[in-house]
Amino acid sequence: MNAWQTRFQMRGRHDPEIVANSAGIIRRFLPEITDDAILRHSAETANISHPDTMALMFLASNGFESRLDTPAGLGMTKKRYYVRLQGMEDAGQVSKNKDGRYRLTSKGTAKLARLTEELQETADKGL
């Protein structure tokens, strides 16, 4: 494995910095969930379970407005933020309403409920 591949893997889904930034948002909704449980769940499931995506889903459950400073406020790069948000829109999980706020669709609400349940099960396994 060359240096580029190693660096790429280190900055991927298991990067502790990514987990820590997104975990803070996730813990606002599920305070009993640990960083370790979030990381294990992310590693065991598909890309939609990436901590960044989960954090955006929790924010969208209450609705949020996307501004120029939103990515930095979430501890994400602009690219990471927009890639995750676009993926969620493409999957039909969030939509932008007339008021300019992103909200979960019914499909997104169902997915968030499943993710919350899976995350809780992952946390319970670690205890």
d(CA 84, CA 6): 23
Q: pLDDT tens, 38-91?
A: 666 654 454 455 788 888 988 999 999 999 998 988 888 999 999 989 988 988
Helix 78-90 × helix 51-62 angle, to 10°: 70
Name the pTM for this structure. Answer: 0.63
Whether the pLDDT of residue 96 is over 90: the answer is: yes
d(CA 30, CA 70): 21
C-alpha to C-alpha distances, 95 to 28, 89, 108, 109, 119, nearest whole angstrom? 22, 6, 9, 12, 24
Walk me through the domains of the chain, giving residue ranges and CATH numbers: 3-126 (1.10.10)
What pLDDT is attached to residue 119?
79
Give backbone dihedrals phi and psi of 64, rounded to 5 degrees, phi first.
-145, 150
